[in-house]
Amino acid sequence: MNDEAPKERSKAVRLLRRTGAALAVAVVVASPWWGRAALRRLDFFRVRRVEIDGARYVSPDEIVSRLRIDTTQSLFDDVGPLEKRVRQHPSVRDVRIVRKLPGTLLVRITENPPVALVQAASGLVAVDATGRSLPVDPATADVDLPVLAVRDTLTLRVLGEVREMAPALFARIGEVRRFPRGSSFYLLFRLTESPTNLAHDVLALGDVTADRLSDIIPVEEDLARRKLRATELDLRFRDQVIARLP
pLDDT at res. 16? 47
Helices 60-67, 80-87: axis angle to 10 degrees equals: 130
Q: How far is CA 80 from CA 86, 96, 107, in A?
A: 10, 9, 12
CATH class of this structure's domain 44-112: alpha beta
What residue type is assigned to position 201 of the chain? D
Q: Write down the pLDDT at residue 54.
A: 94
The pLDDT assigned to 24 comes to: 47
Question: Which of 101, 53, 95, 107 is closest to 75 using CA atoms?
Answer: 101
pLDDT digits (tens, 9 = 90+) for 186-221: 999 999 987 767 789 999 999 999 999 999 999 999
Q: How many C-beta atoms surround the C-beta of residue 193 within 10 A?
A: 12
Domain with CATH 3.10.20.310 in the chain: 44-112
Q: CA 82 to CA 207: how far, in whole Å?
A: 40
pLDDT at 23: 47
pLDDT at 216: 95
Instruction: Quote the pLDDT of residue 229.
Output: 87
**Given this model, what pLDDT does residue 246 score?**
84
pLDDT at 4: 57
Amino acid 96 reads R
Q: Which residues, other chains included, contact 212 with Cβ-Cβ below 8 Å and sequence gap of 6+?
A: 204, 235
C-alpha–C-alpha distance, residues 55 and 189, integer Å: 29
Asked if 62 contacts 89 with a C-beta cutoff of 8 angstroms, the reply is yes
**CATH number for the segment(s) 116-244:** 3.40.50.10960
What's residue 3's pLDDT?
55
Q: Which residues of the chain, if any, have pLDDT below 50?
A: 1, 13, 16-17, 20-21, 23-24, 27-29, 31, 33-34
Q: CB burial class (10 A; 0-12, 13-18, 19+) of residue 121?
A: exposed
> What pLDDT does 47 receive?
93
Give the distance, in angstroms, between the CA of residue 32 and the centroid of all CA atoms in the same chain: 37
Residues 215, 220, 221, 225, Cα dihedral to 10°: 150
Residue 83: predicted pLDDT: 97
Domain with CATH 3.40.50.10960 in the chain: 116-244
pLDDT at position 66: 95
pTM listed for this prediction: 0.75
